[in-house]
Amino acid sequence: MDPADPPPPAGGRGLNPAHAGRERQRARERHPGVFSVTSGSLGRPVTLAGAAHVRLNVATSAEAQEWSVRLCDVDRFGISRNVSDGYLCVPGSPAGPSEQSVTIELNPMAHTFRAGHRLRLQISGSGYPRHPMPLNASRSRRVISRRDAPSSIVLPIVPGGWPITGTDTAAVG
C-alpha cells in the first residue's frame, strides 16, 4: 500500500457526516491497497451482536505497521456496505522481519445478515480518515494464512437470531 494513496473513506463510526454511517464500499474495495475476502451466500439469516475480532498472521518489518479491517454485508445484488471496523498499529520488530500474530478488535455491532447475503472482510494498511495516515513509507505488508498459521475472524453469532438470548462465537477462516 502506498501511504500517499490511502483507500478512500467509505462510512463507519464517526461524527463527520461526510465519512460516517453505512456506505457502499465499491470505491474502497477497488483500491489496490485493500484486500477483500467474501463468504458464500448465507442459507439462512445470521445475527451478530457484540464485538468480533480478526486474527491475522503478518510479516512484520523493522517499522511500525497499521492494519485496518472492515466487516461488510454484501446483498443479493453485490452491493457491499460496512457493518463494523477495527484498527491496530503494530510496533516494528527491532530484530528485523519476522512473522507475528495480531488480533484486531472490531467495534461492537448488532446486525442481521439476510439469507442470500454474503459476509466480506476488507484488510488494508490504513484506517484513514478515522485513524491517522500511516506512520511510515513501508509498502511491504503481508498477511500470511496457511494451515500452520491461519488467519481468521471470530464472530459474535446470536443463536436463533432475534430476540437476543445469548451469544456464541464461531471461527470462520
Query: What is the chain's pLDDT, residue by residue, as a tens digit (173 residues)?
Result: 555 677 766 766 665 666 666 677 788 888 888 889 999 999 999 999 999 999 998 877 767 788 889 999 999 999 999 999 999 987 776 776 678 888 999 999 999 999 999 999 998 887 666 666 655 545 566 777 777 778 889 999 998 765 444 444 444 43
The burial of 105, by beta-carbon neighbours within 10 Å (0-12 exposed, 13-18 middle, 19 or more buried), is given as: middle
Please give the domain boundaries of the chain with CATH numbers for all domains: 26-172 (2.60.120.260)
Q: Per DSSP, which regions of the chain are E strands?
A: 34-38, 46-50, 53-60, 65-74, 80-90, 98-105, 109-113, 118-124, 142-144, 152-157, 168-172
The pairing of beta strand 53-60 with beta strand 152-157: antiparallel
